[in-house]
A and B are shown apart, each in its own frame.
Chain A
Amino acid sequence: MTSTEATTAAPVTPAPPAAPARAARTAAPAPATARSPRRGPRVGPLLLALPVPALVLVLWTVGVQQAWELPFGIKMGFLPTPLEVGRRLVDLAAGGIVDDAFSGTLLAHLWASTQRVLAGFALAVALAVPLGVVMGRFSLAFRMLEPTVNLARPIPVTAWAPLTLLIIGYGDGSAIFLVFLAAFFPVLLNTIAGVRQVPVRLLEAAAMLGTRKAQVLYKVVLPASMRSIASGLRVALGLSWVILVVGETVGINTGLGAMITQARDQSKTDLIVAGMVVIGLCGFVADRLLTGLLALVTRGRPTLT
């Protein structure tokens, strides 16, 4: 119940990278099914994934040139073309094209944002995993803490933002705290759910094989709930990037969210979109790195990831 709620939050991650990610994910089990033994395992998904983004780019370009008006009152005339966004991206990364205050600053923004995400996320994991294990394993702790957790959980992290600025102040601390809040609950809820689902049989097996009490958590409970914890980590990391933009809106000069805010103040739409693209890519790459890291740590053992 709680874990599925947390999982549905996943698509909040920016849209552009989602298409290739999903294609790659469905590609993996495909060769195993009996139905598609002949389809090329690598080329197929890529060819299938490309036409849609290509069409979007074409429509986008035409729409801007013709100044289309779309539902919701979207005036495409105000948008930069994909080409302008591309130019801005290159300039942002290397400089030498637009030559304004933002030229060549991408790395600085990226690094500042990454640090905040890592700090908030790591803090959330360090607190939520142990707390989740305790709450999932000991019913007294669960009954004492679960109502409080579920009362605090529905408060959107964005609603915390104004208060955070007042009680922590402008700067890194606020942004990191907001990322922490965003990442905390998915990790906690998935850990609790995973630990509560550990089969009693495995605990009995561990006991009769002579597992010492102090080792049961590490030897059995943690590995048996690893899959659920891992999915919590992925959801949380995605949300961390989402909330970062909110956290960097006020009082911060370096960071992707700060950059977008400054771009809005100067009406630089191409820069805004470039920032969006970079954040989307960050979320995507971060997810891939996390998945890779988990696979590395668990050495590809079944049922762990």
Chain B
Amino acid sequence: MPRIGTVRSRQPADVRVAGLGKQYPTRSGGAVVAMADVDLDVPAGEFVCVVGASGCGKSTLLRILAGFEDATSGTVEVAGAPVAGPDPERGVVFQDYGLFPWLSVRENIAYGPRQARLQRAAVAERTDRFLTAVGLTRFADKYPSELSGGMQQRVAIARVLANDPSLLLMDEPFGALDALTRSSLQGELSRIHRETGTTVLFVTHSIEEAVFLADRVVVMAGGASHGVPGHVKEIVRIDLGDERDVTSADFNALKRRIAALVHEEVAAPAA
């Protein structure tokens, strides 16, 4: 596999989330507290996975970091600057890809660099580099609808990487893919992370995926339907090195531990 290239104009960002809370107004005029007192520090270049049962606020956390939603309380800083709205420095990969269907694969990837008003040659160079990085050079002139889900998600990843983001936010990106595609994309993503060094915050339902990818796994719990606001329950460090064997004893021990953390919350809500 060709390397993406190590020349970076942007340094990976660190993330500081402190006392983060999110409330939604209800129809009766009250408020639902979806999330409260979430603290999270992610050093630059780290790969963090966020797991937890539905409604625990993990996607909300990601959307606030992306700038799609505002926090009700607390502070959110990326690379030392408070988050105010979406920004190409913070690339987002969605579960449903969010590609522009009327643009070809190449045009989708070139979209960000073009918006950044890079020179024509620089746009072409970046587009080609990330087409190669995700192995889609042969499909450059196809449209998203002509590609499989896994390939569309590759395009979405390349499109975000072409913006040279300092933080990569991924919201269950492989959740809609079949198991084989999923594991090959997981492999590619961890290679991309090693080569770009970008900080990654990755939300997933799959504990195995989290243990496979992450340097640290953030376990969230609670949520409005549990009677407790969503919060960070525990953060588990994954010291398994670069080459991870999903069948190894260490790997499964970590998986069991995290699964227990996630499930005990589901079994006994509002403890």
Tell me the A residues contacting B by CB distance below 8 Å. 199, 201-202, 204-205, 207-212, 215, 220, 223-224, 226, 298, 301-304
Asked if B100 and A223 make an inter-chain contact with CB atoms under 8 angstroms apart, the answer reads yes
Of the residues B88, B94, B101, contact of A303 by C-beta under 8 Å: B101
8 closest A-B pairs by CB: A210-B88, A207-B86, A205-B98, A208-B86, A209-B112, A210-B115, A201-B98, A303-B101
In the bound complex, CA of A208 to CA of B160 (Å): 9
In the bound complex, CA of A303 to CA of B101 (Å): 7
List 6 additional contacts besides A208-B86, A210-B87; criterion CB under 8 Å.
Answer: A205-B99, A208-B67, A209-B115, A210-B115, A210-B116, A215-B115
In the bound complex, CA of A196 to CA of B143 (Å): 24
Assuming the contacts A223-B102, A302-B101, asked whether A209 and B143 have C-beta atoms less than 8 A apart, the reply is no
Can you list 29 A-B pairs with a CB-CB distance of less than 8 A? A199-B98, A202-B100, A204-B68, A204-B94, A205-B92, A205-B94, A207-B67, A207-B68, A208-B66, A208-B68, A208-B86, A208-B88, A208-B90, A208-B92, A209-B111, A209-B159, A209-B163, A210-B88, A212-B115, A215-B115, A220-B100, A223-B100, A226-B102, A301-B102, A301-B103, A303-B101, A303-B102, A303-B145, A304-B102
Asked if B87 and A302 make an inter-chain contact with CB atoms under 8 angstroms apart, the answer reads no
Complex contacts, A210 vs chain B, CB 8 Å: 87-88, 112, 115-116, 163
Asked if B94 and A201 make an inter-chain contact with CB atoms under 8 angstroms apart, the answer reads yes
Asked if B92 and A204 make an inter-chain contact with CB atoms under 8 angstroms apart, the answer reads yes
Residue of B nearest to A207 (CB): B86
Does B37 have its Cβ within 8 Å of any Cβ on chain A?
no
Does B96 have its Cβ within 8 Å of any Cβ on chain A?
yes
Of the residues B67, B98, B145, contact of A302 by C-beta under 8 Å: B145
In the bound complex, CA of A302 to CA of B108 (Å): 14
Does B45 have its Cβ within 8 Å of any Cβ on chain A?
no
Question: Nearest Cβ distance between residue B89 and chain A, in whole angstroms?
Answer: 9
The dominant DSSP class at the B interface is loop
In the bound complex, CA of A293 to CA of B91 (Å): 37
Assuming the contacts A208-B66, A210-B115, asked whether A202 and B88 have C-beta atoms less than 8 A apart, the reply is no
Residue of B nearest to A220 (CB): B100
Asked if B100 and A205 make an inter-chain contact with CB atoms under 8 angstroms apart, the answer reads yes
Complex contacts, B115 vs chain A, CB 8 Å: 209-212, 215
Does B85 have its Cβ within 8 Å of any Cβ on chain A?
yes
Mask of B164-203 contacts with A, CB within 8 angstroms, 1/0: 0000000000000000000000000000000000000000
Complex contacts, B88 vs chain A, CB 8 Å: 208-210
Complex contacts, B66 vs chain A, CB 8 Å: 204, 208
Of the residues A205, A220, A302, contact of B143 by C-beta under 8 Å: A302
Complex contacts, A224 vs chain B, CB 8 Å: 102
Question: Nearest Cβ distance between residue B167 and chain A, in whole angstroms?
Answer: 11
In the bound complex, CA of A82 to CA of B193 (Å): 75
Assuming the contacts A301-B143, A302-B143, asked whether A208 and B91 have C-beta atoms less than 8 A apart, the reply is yes
Complex contacts, B91 vs chain A, CB 8 Å: 208-209
Assuming the contacts A209-B112, A301-B143, asked whether A204 and B86 have C-beta atoms less than 8 A apart, the reply is yes
In the bound complex, CA of A199 to CA of B98 (Å): 9
Mask of B67-102 contacts with A, CB within 8 angstroms, 1/0: 110000000000000000111101110101011111
Question: Nearest Cβ distance between residue B122 and chain A, in whole angstroms?
Answer: 15
Question: Nearest Cβ distance between residue B127 and chain A, in whole angstroms?
Answer: 13
In the bound complex, CA of A208 to CA of B67 (Å): 8
Question: Nearest Cβ distance between residue B67 and chain A, in whole angstroms?
Answer: 8
Question: Nearest Cβ distance between residue A217 and chain B, in whole angstroms?
Answer: 14
Asked if A204 and B98 make an inter-chain contact with CB atoms under 8 angstroms apart, the answer reads yes
In the bound complex, CA of A36 to CA of B3 (Å): 47
Residue of B nearest to A299 (CB): B102
In the bound complex, CA of A202 to CA of B163 (Å): 17
Asked if A207 and B85 make an inter-chain contact with CB atoms under 8 angstroms apart, the answer reads yes
Of the residues A201, A207, A209, A302, contact of B102 by C-beta under 8 Å: A302
Complex contacts, A211 vs chain B, CB 8 Å: 115
Most A-side CB within 10 Å, residue of B68, B98, B99:
B98
In the bound complex, CA of A212 to CA of B85 (Å): 12
Question: Nearest Cβ distance between residue A73 and chain B, in whole angstroms?
Answer: 54
